[in-house]
Structure 1
Amino acid sequence: MKFTFDIKSPQQQYIQITAEIKATGKETTVYFPAWRPGRYELGDFAKNVNHFQIFNGDGSALKYQKANKNTWIVQTEGCKTITVKYSYYATDLNAGSTFLDASQLYVNPVNCCLFTDESYNDPITVILNIPKSWKVAHSLKVKENSFTAANYDELADSPFICSAQLQKSTYEVDGTTFYIWFNGIVKPDWKRLENDFKAFTESQIKAFSKFPTDEYHFLIQILPYQTYHGVEHSKSTVITLGPSYAVFEEMYKELLGVSSHELYHTWNVKSIRPSEMVPYNFKKENYSELGYIAEGVTTYMGDLMLFKSGVFNLDQYLLEMNKQIQKHMDNFGRFNYSVADSSFDTWLDGYVAGAPGRKVSIYTEGCLLAFILDIQLLKYTDNQKNLDDVMRSMYLNFGARGKGVTEKDYQNEIEKLTGVSMQWYFDDYVHGTKAYTTLLIDCLEYIGIEYKNEPVESDFGAYLGAKIMEVNNETVIAALYPGGALDISGAMIGDKVISINEMAITNNADRWAKFYRREDKEIVINRKGALVNLHLTASKNEYYQRYFLKPAPSLDKDHIDAFDVWRNV
């Protein structure tokens, strides 16, 4: 196959793409990808296609019929090749999108490059008709604005940025060259950045024993507005971060966090891949229950590697763990739906919160379960083995050999180290909804970390059981604590708080709630235009809590030994 990219009118944000594909029979079926790696939900990229045309080798138009939203059946009898011409609307700028304006052409090929079964494994050439002043950031070798991919899988996994604003630096670890590319308005502190990136890279390679590829590219889009996103690829990652002025100041820890997370994905999910995704099937959903490994273990290890490498101190690391515990405790879906089922259902409702209390996050639950497993491994092996050993074995025995993994493979690798059955872990916590707060606290204590909680600062949250937010100067109930005071009184998500005990609410709901904390309350709410009175009886009950971790004030030798092995000292 051959793809040519033209950008004739970038202000219109349409990329003109020409695909030349071999044809071998009476009919050729052309597909547009239905999803992209790193985002296990349907993407429906074909919705951005315009001016779709198909021709044979002599330029004559061919007949075709659209079979479904991302599939075309082309009449190709007597044709050796076909040429497909179309425009792709590229207006979204995030870590997994395709974008065009006067300053850059940024492409995730899996968004906008079609394929056929017959040519899927053929070599692919890409030609870029871009301004001479533009550089190209890419994990494949670029020569005179063209590059080749071994097959469609490699093309789909190789995003690129073409821009005159690109800045680059490199560092090397164990024979692998790592490139850091910035695009956008940014003033990199290269020395600080290279030192920190090299440190967490060394820790990750040490954990796995070797790096999967001979080079790696951090493709970082710096934007002038608030954003945070990263997507993993085999030889690169794309990261979007902003605003520009904050990247090397208050958002620097986010830059480190997302970069470490995405680098860890090079092993975990790009190499250690669920068997349901070997190979990828871009025509439809690739259902898997292993999101708690792919994203959960990566979330845990991405931050832990920053701590192990010394880039984060213990307080900085615990702050990130605090966030995961807070998300876990605030999501009551943990009582209703397992992390394995939630992984399967990313294809159903994507990564949005969805129906309240229905599901959990594969990132948060997977992260905490990975921590619990890490500490259980320490306990069972007298502080000799941890989760690093499991993941290294998973990589060497499966990922490096191109073999997909199953949950049973994961369990077997764990039990080789523990020497005992870990079925309880999978039954109760991965596929079950058993509360694990007590187990989590025990694991934290094992390495000398104290778990604390206290009521949140918001009186509505702490004592009435509702999270509120200000929207257009109106106080809106955004979440309800099941069985909380407002839930029992009949409040609903979306209700607007009008008054408390006849006092009008004007961006001061928490202050009035605190004023009347230990008294009966009459609350008037606006529910879609109707005024509703709610009566709340005085109570000392507490609902939403704030959770935080801190080092224990003193540790005995056993705790110190466990902590040192956990940190890999």
Structure 2
Amino acid sequence: MKKLLALSIVAACSTSAFADVNYELKISEPQHHLGNVSVEFPKSAQSHIDVKLPAWRTGRYEILNLANGVRYFNAKDEDGKELTWEKVDHSTWRVHLNKPTEVNVDYQVYANELGKRARHIDDSHAFIDASGFFMFSESFRQEPVTVNLDIPKKWRSVSGMDNLESKNSFKAANYDVLVDSPIETGINQLHTFEVDDREYDLVVWGDGNYDVDLMLTDLKKLVATGNVIWDGYPYERYVFMVHATSGAGGATEHLNSTIIQRPRDRFGSREDYLGFISTAAHEFIHTWNVKAYRPQGLVPYDYTNMNYSKLLWIAEGSTSYFEDHLLVRSGIQTTDEFFKVMSKTINRHLQTPGREVQSASETSFDKWINQGGDHARNYSTNIYSEGSLLSLALDIDLLEKSQGKISYRDVHKALYNNHKMPAGFTDVDVLNILKDLTGRDYSSWWQENVESPASINFDELLAKVGLKYERPEKAKALASIDATAKNTGELLTLSYVRRGGSAWEAGLTTNDKIVAINKHHVGKDLKTSLETFKAGEKVTVDYIRRDALDSLTLVLSEDFDKPKKVVANKDATLEQKALFKAWIGVEHPADVKKD
């Protein structure tokens, strides 16, 4: 009993209950991308504490090695005396304690990686994702957190976290909330609005050809669509952070905020603006799908190692699928614009040989190690497009078999209602939801489409909702070698050779330099050089590989100057039109009167 009592006392002393972990970030040399961080950890009676910086950040399933920007690490006890420490792995500093004491850690962070959306400091702003700045200890991971910023006077700070006394100080329930609540501070625009008694901020850093009034108008429409899928909202306040910049693009979801990066001149045209608002819709949906509920392999987050899951196609791909639904239902996007996006997704899928090799389950698990380039396209898929198209196939199947009464939205509503964080959901949970909704066993469908490479007949699938997938009437047939090339000076260099295509079968590969076809010099554009040929012709290709000239023969394949596209079937039946409306929420285009 005495031994147990002693252990209990040590455990109680090792982490003081409800003691705050206090962070301070001082930015005195922003032009050099430097920040100085101080962390105060509560009193600990352990022999040592391990202080870590995450190796990746939430929303990006890739090891980023964020600790490589840390220098001048130092640790002191509560009396200001130096503590000994050692670095024990790529992102862990072990601080040794001689007695029970608070631990104060200081270090410098180099923050010049804007595109990774983890850390960036310059003379106009700082984007602060805790994973790139603030170290943590597992011993105090669940303790309350405070953050104080010491920044230039003219800077303004915005975050999804609540403020303390100052607008430059914040509080969070624990480190997990902190790491999922980035801060944008600097010279920025701030616009606030309210929809259905929930508060929203739009903070924009950088100049660009954006229209803030249009952004605000459409964001108000977008955030009102949550009840299209889910019962309730998981937040009372939400922050849209926008970077209008150069050299960076992309977006990341967070607990009750998002960061969206776009080139500063990519907001003006309708196509560019749709790219922005679609991204906003994607990240908004993530507030439920990933932040309110997510696959078991990501619960809880392990910030220093890979977090494996076979269901990332649901986390990301289903999010991509739903974004267009919300945009169409809210009136932000037209059905024609929706069809254009769907056409691109389907065409990209069908032109990716990797769809025959890797399943959605496999590509989800391998997201952490997926590589780019031609090998990835020839032998892999991705969680976004593959997951989006699987969501489409499952959605239409559910709608058809229930005469429009049950949809894939109901699956996500059930995930939100029954599998909220901190519990993670599994494939068994999804299959159980499908069975509860329909009374049918979807195990065979899952095996054929999720665990195995999916084979979707888009003609049959889209016909069920009154759509066609067809080649435009005026499309012209072209000769092709099933490869793409980039101009590298006087020669064209193959940048991608499609597996199973004519160039592949003949023996050409990426980085081969094409010199001539049938002894005629290839110009600056491969398509132009093939205009005089027809599909089925056998040609001789001269090329350079390893600085040596060689030649081979290949049979040209057929391509078209215009890709296939999704269009409304003007002769759709009443049943198909009804299913279309149940699917996307608006009337079938054949029933819409045009002005």
Give TM-score scaled by structure 2 length: 0.90
Check conservation: 2:118, 2:131, Cα contact below 8 A. Answer: no
The residue number in structure 2 matching 1:407 is: 427
Tell me the SS of whatever aligns to 1:73: strand
Tell me the SS of whatever aligns to 1:133: coil
The residue number in structure 2 matching 1:201 is: 223
Shift of residue 455, structure 1, vs aligned partner: 12
AA aligned to 1:404 is G
Shift of residue 306, structure 1, vs aligned partner: 0.4
Check conservation: 1:481, 1:544, Cα contact below 8 A. Answer: no
The residue number in structure 2 matching 1:558 is: 575
Shift of residue 247, structure 1, vs aligned partner: 4.5
The residue number in structure 2 matching 1:255 is: 276
The residue number in structure 2 matching 1:546 is: 563
The residue number in structure 1 matching 2:451 is: 431
Check conservation: 2:491, 2:514, Cα contact below 8 A. Answer: yes
Distance (Å, rounded) in 1 between the aligned partners of 2:227 and 2:212: 22
AA aligned to 2:48 is E
Deviations along 1:54-74, whole A, 9 cap, x unmatched? Answer: 222233322122211111222
Quick one: structure 1 residues 356 and 315, their matched pair in 2 at CA, closer, same or farther if it must change by over 3 Å? closer
Check conservation: 2:234, 2:287, Cα contact below 8 A. Answer: yes
Aligned counterpart in structure 1 of residue 237 of structure 2, from 180, 203, 215: 215
Alignment of 1:267 with 2:295, yes or no, is no
Alignment of 1:5 with 2:25, yes or no, is yes
Alignment of 1:362 with 2:380, yes or no, is no
The residue number in structure 2 matching 1:279 is: 300
The residue number in structure 1 matching 2:17 is: none
Shift of residue 248, structure 1, vs aligned partner: 6.4
Check conservation: 1:227, 1:243, Cα contact below 8 A. Answer: no
Shift of residue 540, structure 1, vs aligned partner: 5.9
The residue number in structure 1 matching 2:170 is: 147
Check conservation: 1:465, 1:486, Cα contact below 8 A. Answer: yes
Check conservation: 1:468, 1:476, Cα contact below 8 A. Answer: yes
Alignment of 1:497 with 2:494, yes or no, is no
Quick one: structure 1 residues 79 and 472, their matched pair in 2 at CA, closer, same or farther if it must change by over 3 Å? farther
Aligned counterpart in structure 2 of residue 441 of structure 1, from 459, 463, 470: 459
The residue number in structure 1 matching 2:11 is: none
Shift of residue 410, structure 1, vs aligned partner: 1.1
Deviations along 1:396-451, whole A, 9 cap, x unmatched? Answer: 1112x632111111111122222211112210111101422x1x322211111101
Quick one: structure 1 residues 478 and 540, their matched pair in 2 at CA, closer, same or farther if it must change by over 3 Å? closer
The residue number in structure 2 matching 1:520 is: 538
What is the correspondence of 1:74-473 to structure 2 with a 5 Å cutoff?
A: 74-94=95-115, 96-142=117-163, 143-144=165-166, 145-164=168-187, 166-186=188-208, 188-223=210-245, 225=246, 227-244=248-265, 246-247=267-268, 250-349=271-370, 355-399=376-420, 402-436=422-456, 438=457, 440-453=458-471, 463-473=480-490
Shift of residue 338, structure 1, vs aligned partner: 0.8
Deviations along 1:439-483, whole A, 9 cap, x unmatched? Answer: x322211111101247999998x5222122223453121222333
Shift of residue 82, structure 1, vs aligned partner: 1.5
Distance (Å, rounded) in 1 between the aligned partners of 2:375 and 2:581: 40
Distance (Å, rounded) in 1 between the aligned partners of 2:299 and 2:410: 23
The residue number in structure 2 matching 1:55 is: 76
State the number of aligned residues: 562
Shift of residue 171, structure 1, vs aligned partner: 2.8
Distance (Å, rounded) in 2 between the aligned partners of 1:456 and 1:19: 66
Check conservation: 1:220, 1:238, Cα contact below 8 A. Answer: yes
**Percent of pairs with identical residues:** 27
Distance (Å, rounded) in 1 between the aligned partners of 2:182 and 2:278: 21
Deviations along 1:303-327, whole A, 9 cap, x unmatched? Answer: 2210121111111011111121122
AA aligned to 1:432 is S
AA aligned to 2:497 is L
Aligned counterpart in structure 2 of residue 14 of structure 1, from 9, 31, 34: 34
Tell me the SS of whatever aligns to 2:429: helix
Greater Cα shift, 286-295 or 67-76: 67-76
AA aligned to 1:171 is F
AA aligned to 1:388 is R
Check conservation: 1:95, 1:230, Cα contact below 8 A. Answer: no
| Gap regions ≥5 residues in structure 1 | none
Quick one: structure 1 residues 212 and 367, their matched pair in 2 at CA, closer, same or farther if it must change by over 3 Å? same
Check conservation: 1:121, 1:150, Cα contact below 8 A. Answer: yes
Give TM-score scaled by structure 1 length: 0.94
AA aligned to 1:405 is F
Alignment of 1:483 with 2:500, yes or no, is yes
Deviations along 1:8-61, whole A, 9 cap, x unmatched? Answer: 222221211111113331111111112111111212111111122222223332
Quick one: structure 1 residues 545 and 416, their matched pair in 2 at CA, closer, same or farther if it must change by over 3 Å? farther
Aligned counterpart in structure 2 of residue 536 of structure 1, from 539, 551, 554: 554
AA aligned to 1:363 is Y
Aligned counterpart in structure 2 of residue 45 of structure 1, from 46, 66, 69: 66
Tell me the SS of whatever aligns to 1:252: helix
Check conservation: 2:363, 2:380, Cα contact below 8 A. Answer: yes
RMSD: 2.3
Check conservation: 1:188, 1:248, Cα contact below 8 A. Answer: no
Tell me the SS of whatever aligns to 2:495: strand
Deviations along 1:471-513, whole A, 9 cap, x unmatched? Answer: 3453121222333221122111111111112222230332222
